[in-house]
Amino acid sequence: MTTQQLHEQILQKKSFLCVGLDPDLTKIPQHLLETEDPIFEFNKAIIDATHNLTVGYKPNTAFFEAYGIKGWMSLQKTINYINENYPDIFTIADAKRGDIGNTSSMYAKAFFEDLNFDSVTVAPYMGKDSVEPFLAFENKHTIMLALTSNEGAFDFQTLNTNGKELYKQVLETSKTWKNSENLMYVVGATKAEYFTEIRKIVPDSFLLVPGIGAQGGSLSEVCKYGMNDMVGLLVNSARAIIYASKGTDFAEKAREEALKVQQEMAEIIGLKLQV
């Protein structure tokens, strides 16, 4: 998928919501545990209920790997289900990978070829040759951690390096890498005031924004400082949507929560288009 196609989908759905799929067997509705693949059945119901309100799905690989082979099979079924039934949806493997070049090539193969995701999240610590193998794939997107939404973000990401915070250095350096136009960045919603600075460095890039909902970030604040002409934001919400109910009505309740966010987004996009 190209960023142009992603942008068109955002305007069409009046949404830049991404639903995070973090399926946890201790949190999903009990009645699903009787099915052969509870994780897939849970994801499928959430996807069917929300697909016209969201432009992206972001399965978090940890929540599949924790269940071993069975979990990896659920991940495969989930991405196949999205690609077959809702091919216009932007898919993100939230995997936070990154290693020396020949190893990153194998990760890229895993997520872009074997599983056929549109994008994958990566960590920047190992630098250029750990990320460029992902960037080599045409019409695939590599979403690199810049400033994350967790407490530990302040351990290293905001350290002063040669007069600027590390995350800014990461953003700037990454722009010099080969095929850097295939980069997007993770920027946590819990730090809306940082978006102004970030947009000075990467005005045109899409930003994947976690931290809305359970982690406490504000959508309007993020949009105020983070939007660009392409909208340029994918705002992720996981727990607040997928665990809105633990009952048999979980998919319906998930849709209601997604609809609330989508309506807020539609209003923001509407105001922006009028300007």
Q: Is 172 near its own copies (CB under 8 A)?
A: no
Q: Which of 156, 216, 246, 248 binds its own copies (CB under 8 A)?
A: 156
Q: Is 210 exposed, middle or buried (CB count within 10 Å of its CB: 0-12, 13-18, 19+)? A: buried
Interface positions, 62-91, toward its own copies (CB under 8 A): 62-63, 65-69, 71-73, 76
**Given the rule CB under 8 A, which of 31-39, 134-142, 146-154, 251-259 is the region that contacts its own copies?**
146-154
Q: Is 28 near its own copies (CB under 8 A)?
A: no
Active site residue 260: no
Distance CA 63, CA 216 (A): 21
CB of 74 to its own copies, least distance (A): 10
**Given the rule CB under 8 A, which of 124-132, 218-226, 229-237, 259-267 is the region that contacts its own copies?**
124-132
Q: How far is CA 111 from the centre of its chain?
A: 14
Nearest to 223 by CA among 247, 254, 187, 253: 187
DSSP, residue by residue, 86-118? -TTSEEEEEEEE--SHHHHHHHHIIIIIIS--S
Q: Is 246 near its own copies (CB under 8 A)?
A: no
Q: Which of 35, 150, 218, 263 binds its own copies (CB under 8 A)?
A: 150
Q: Which of 43, 54, 149, 182 binds its own copies (CB under 8 A)?
A: 149
CB 124 within 8 A of CB 170: yes
Instruction: Give the H or E element holding residue 57.
Output: strand 56-59
Q: Which member of 14, 96, 224, 260 is catalytic?
A: 96
End-to-end CA distance of the chain: 28
Q: Is 165 exposed, middle or buried (CB count within 10 Å of its CB: 0-12, 13-18, 19+)? A: middle
Q: Is 153 near its own copies (CB under 8 A)?
A: yes
Q: Please, which residue, 75 or 89, has the CB nearer to its own copies?
A: 75
Q: Is 106 near its own copies (CB under 8 A)?
A: yes
Count of chain residues binding its own copies (CB under 8 A): 59
Q: Is 144 exposed, middle or buried (CB count within 10 Å of its CB: 0-12, 13-18, 19+)? A: buried
Contact residues: its own copies, CB under 8 A? 22, 24, 60, 62-63, 65-69, 71-73, 76, 94, 96-104, 106-107, 109-110, 114-115, 123-131, 145, 148-157, 159-162, 166, 169-170, 173, 210
Indicate which residues carry an active-site annotation.
Answer: 96
